[in-house]
């Protein structure tokens, strides 16, 4: 089981690394230089930009994306959190489509990623949404996806011994533990730390924990752990009436959502390793909801501001 006989990165570091290259941080820096003093700017700076968040790493050259973070985190003794997000047919061609074109390209990238992290303590969430999309893929796409995930797990196990790797564990509400457990096992969860729940979603922490504990039991791996994305789940998901009115896009920038609990290591309580901010608050889900003219991952200070107040 991955995690036995290795350093626990949460305990080695004690605190999470705060990114200084997020869109929220850059927006605030620009506004400071312009001399503006608005409540919006204060909220974005203090309640979003200053909170530890995950660095999403795509298929571009790997070193420029993470080398500086590793160096800074090493100097301060903080724990960096990365999201590997470059798998072929990413997001099943949805709003966040992209990634590499072949399994071979992806595997080379994953190996480089793991080697670059090396012995540094780190957390890596491996390809959110990959396993929840499996039912809609054809047989070849499924094989390719599992090959990519299993290879990446082994690459980090071999080259990054102090990294905790978490596979896609679903949203905690609309995916059943019974459907995800077989895919997790085939993707190599036995050699990873565990799985991540609620990435870029809104489900309450309690709902996600109940789901994750059931999924953990089904896996039959007593040492497996899980993390929950709490970045935008402070008010839970949008009401059922909104979901019914927007059945295919309700997850995209729904109104009335709120920032959730700040990142926190929980000390492996019943397998619940940590609460993390994985989705960066204020970055759009695409041209939906309260941001109909935005593009996926575009930073919208108004949306970040509203997430603080929950309106």
Q: 247 versus 6: which is more confidently predicted? A: 247
The token pair at 52 is 């530890």
- Is residue 3 assigned to a domain? no
- Strand extents, DSSP E, 151-300: 163-168, 194-197, 225-229, 264-269, 272-276
Q: Which segments of the chain are extended strands (E)?
A: 55-57, 81-84, 122-126, 163-168, 194-197, 225-229, 264-269, 272-276
Residue 1 predicted with pLDDT over 50? no
Strands 122-126 and 163-168: parallel
pLDDT at 37 over 70: no
Radius of gyration in angstroms for the set of CA atoms belonging to the chain, rounded to a whole number: 18
Gap between the Cα atoms of 263 and 278, Å rounded: 9
- Domain assignment present for residue 2? The answer is no
pLDDT for 214 beyond 90: yes
Give the residues across from 55 on adjacent strands: 82
Domain presence at residue 73: yes
User: Helix H segments across 61-132?
Assistant: 62-76, 103-117
- Does residue 131 fall inside a structural domain? yes
Distance CA 31, CA 26 (A): 9
- Residue 291 φ/ψ, nearest 5 degrees: -130, 60
Question: Residue 285 catalytic?
Answer: yes
**Is 4 part of any domain?**
no
223 is catalytic: no
| Cα torsion 262, 268, 269, 271: sign | positive
CA distance 157 to 163: 8
Per-residue model confidence as pLDDT tens digits over 100-154: 899 999 999 999 999 999 999 999 999 999 999 999 999 999 999 999 999 999 9
- pLDDT, tens only, 59-108: 988 898 899 999 999 999 999 999 999 999 887 767 777 888 999 999 99
Q: How many domains would you assign to the chain?
A: 1
CA angle 13, 60, 277 (to 5 degrees): 40
Select which of 21, 129, 168, 261 is catalytic: 129
Q: Which of 168, 171, 273, 285 is catalytic?
A: 285
Is residue 211 within 8 A of residue 243, CB to CB? The reply is no
| Tally of CA atoms within 13 A in the half-sphere of 265 that contains its CB | 17
The confidence score (pLDDT) of residue 32 equals 61
Cβ-contact 263, 16 below 8 angstroms:
yes
Q: How many helices (H) and strands (E) does the chain have?
A: 10, 8
Q: What is the mean pLDDT of the chain?
A: 92
Is 1 within the bounds of a domain?
no
* DSSP reduced 3-state for 281: coil
* pLDDT tens digit sequence for 159-210: 999 999 999 999 998 899 999 999 999 999 999 999 999 999 999 999 999 9
Residues contacting residue 232 through CB under 8 Å, at least 6 positions apart: 200, 201, 202, 257, 258, 259, 260, 279, 281, 307
Question: CA neighbours within 13 Å on the CB side: how many for 20?
Answer: 7
171 is catalytic: no
pLDDT at res. 61? 87
CATH number at residue 198: 3.20.20.40
Helix axes 62-76, 103-117, angle to 10 degrees: 20
pLDDT at 221 over 60: yes
Token pair of 263 as six digits: 């990142």
Domain range spanning residue 96? 9-309
Catalytic residue among 46, 91, 191, 261: 91
What lies within 8 Å, CB to CB, of 139 at 6+ separation is: none
Tell me whether residue 259 is in a domain.
Answer: yes
Task: Report yes or no on 40 lying in a domain.
Answer: yes
Q: CA triplet 153, 298, 171: central angle to 5 degrees? A: 45
């Amino acid at each position: 089981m991955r995690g036995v006989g290795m350093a626990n990165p949460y305990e080695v570091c004690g605190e999470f690394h705060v990114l200084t290259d997020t869109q929220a941080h850059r927006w605030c820096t620009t506004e400071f230089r312009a001399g503006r003093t608005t409540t919006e700017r204060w909220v974005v700076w203090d309640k979003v930009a200053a909170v530890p968040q995950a660095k999403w790493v795509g298929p571009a050259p790997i070193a420029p994306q993470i080398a500086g973070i590793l160096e800074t985190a090493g100097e301060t003794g903080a724990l960096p959190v990365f999201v590997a997000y470059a798998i072929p047919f990413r997001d099943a061609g949805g709003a966040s489509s992209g990634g590499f074109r072949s399994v071979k390209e992806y595997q080379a990238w994953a190996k480089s990623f793991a080697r670059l992290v090396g012995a540094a303590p780190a957390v890596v969430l491996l390809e959110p949404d990959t396993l929840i999309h499996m039912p809609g893929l054809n047989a070849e796409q499924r094989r390719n996806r599992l090959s990519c995930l299993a290879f990446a797990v082994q690459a980090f196990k071999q080259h990054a011994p102090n990294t905790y790797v978490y596979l896609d564990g679903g949203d905690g509400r609309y995916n059943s533990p019974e459907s995800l457990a077989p895919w997790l096992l085939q993707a190599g969860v036995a050699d990873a730390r565990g799985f991540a729940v609620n990435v870029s979603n809104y489900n309450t922490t309690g709902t996600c924990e109940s789901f994750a504990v059931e999924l953990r039991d089904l896996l039959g791996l007593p040492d497996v752990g899980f993390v929950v994305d709490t970045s935008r789940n402070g008010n839970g998901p949008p009401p059922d009436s909104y979901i019914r009115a927007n059945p295919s896009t309700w997850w995209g920038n729904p109104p009335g959502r709120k920032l959730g609990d700040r990142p926190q290591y929980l000390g492996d309580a019943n397998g619940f390793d940590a609460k993390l901010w994985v989705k960066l608050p204020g970055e759009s889900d695409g041209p939906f909801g309260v941001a109909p003219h935005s593009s996926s991952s575009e930073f919208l200070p108004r949306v970040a501001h509203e997430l603080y107040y929950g309106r």
